[in-house]
Amino acid sequence: MMHYLENENSSVAIKTSGAELSSFLNKQENLEYIWQADPQVWPRHAPVLFPVVGKLPAGKYNYGGKTYELPQHGFARDLDFKLISQENNQLIFELIDSEKTQAVYPFAFRLLIIYRLAENALEITYTVENPAAGDLYFSIGAHPAFRVPLFPGESFTDYYLEFEKPETQNHHLLEQGLLNGKSEPLLKNQTRLPLSYDLFMQDALVFKKVASEKIQIKTPRHQHGISFEFKGFPFFGIWTKEPEAAFICLEPWHGIASTVGDTGELALKEGIINLPPGEQFSCSYIIRIH
């Protein structure tokens, strides 16, 4: 089932499945900014990553003396959420633990995804609550895919990413989805990263401690693009499915893929959040179309 938010400038569509953002439309120009999930290329739009970000060693982790299996990026993106609140400018979706989730993830949790639309800006908030008597270990992240290019006759390489602040960054290398402990320099006091498929020949670009809190998708061909605003996320990924995929993913994360040789202990995993009983955790990001 699809749910909608709309104003004079924009319309937004969110699926019950995964509470996944599926459309962000500039109504004046009938211009779609979200990748439309071509199943022959990549069949998703903007999945939430929970309760893990990235891959686990052999798809497994250990907790409480037991071994469990979880797929890359967890299970929330493939489960139906419940719409619990609908207002003119806001939708709130809820996912709570069940027998199905407990079999692979032995924690009680409540996950809320909140969408707020104001003019041409969509704020997405993730809130995780721990209703149990014990600690809750989790990671959470975003994975929205934006259409690049936006218009016929353009190419992926016509676009670039513009960072809010000059960045000096190494990107951390992945080996079959796991961090291999190596990195390569990518940005040296730069604000601009030209897009090319060669950047992604070794999988996603994975960064730690990005200085910027805003990244824009831009092109010299016209003024249409994305401003992507995030704050407080310790990890960030950039990805497309080469070759010739017509999208770019901007991914702020609280969590990261495991490292080759990792013991698999969930409580020791890099980037894991330990949420005490009765507490809640929230993070948010903003997509602004122009």
Q: What would you measure as the largest C-alpha separation in the chain, in angstroms?
A: 57
Bridge partners (DSSP) listed for residue 259:
179
Question: Residue 53: its pLDDT value, please?
Answer: 98
Give φ, ψ of 35 to 5 degrees: -55, 135
Question: Residue 269: its pLDDT value, please?
Answer: 96
Is residue 208 over pLDDT 80?
yes
Mean pLDDT score, 213-218: 98
Is residue 242 over pLDDT 80?
no
| Rounded Cα distance, 183 and 78, in Å | 31
Report whether 74 contacts 51 (CB < 8 A): yes
Residue 85 CB neighbours (<10 A): 11
Report whether 207 contacts 235 (CB < 8 A): yes
Question: Residue 249: its pLDDT value, please?
Answer: 98
First to last CA, the chain: 28
In order of start, what are the domains of the chain with their CATH numbers? 2-289 (2.70.98.10)
197 confidence band (pLDDT: 50, 70, 90): very high
Best CA proximity match to 44, nearest among 83, 78, 6: 78
Q: List, for residues 31-58, the tens digit of each pLDDT value.
A: 999 999 999 999 999 999 999 999 999 9
Question: Residue 258: its pLDDT value, please?
Answer: 97
Question: Residue 46: its pLDDT value, please?
Answer: 98
Of all residues in the chain, the percent with pLDDT exceeding 70 is 100
Mean pLDDT score, 158-178: 97
Question: Residue 244: its pLDDT value, please?
Answer: 83
CA distances from 216 to 164, 212, 219, 250 (A): 8, 11, 10, 10
Q: Using the 8-state DSSP alphabet, how is residue 34 labeled?
A: B
CA distances from 123 to 8, 58, 149, 228, 286 (A): 17, 35, 23, 10, 4
Mean pLDDT score, 265-285: 97
Best CA proximity match to 74, nearest among 205, 284, 254: 254
Question: Residue 188: its pLDDT value, please?
Answer: 96
Is residue 243 over pLDDT 90?
no
> Would you call the peptide bond into 106 cis, given omega within 30 degrees of 0 as the criterion?
no
Mean pLDDT, rounded, of the chain: 97
29 confidence band (pLDDT: 50, 70, 90): very high
Q: List, for residues 54-80, the tens digit of each pLDDT value.
A: 999 999 999 999 999 999 999 999 999
CA distances from 61 to 44, 138, 276 (A): 25, 12, 20
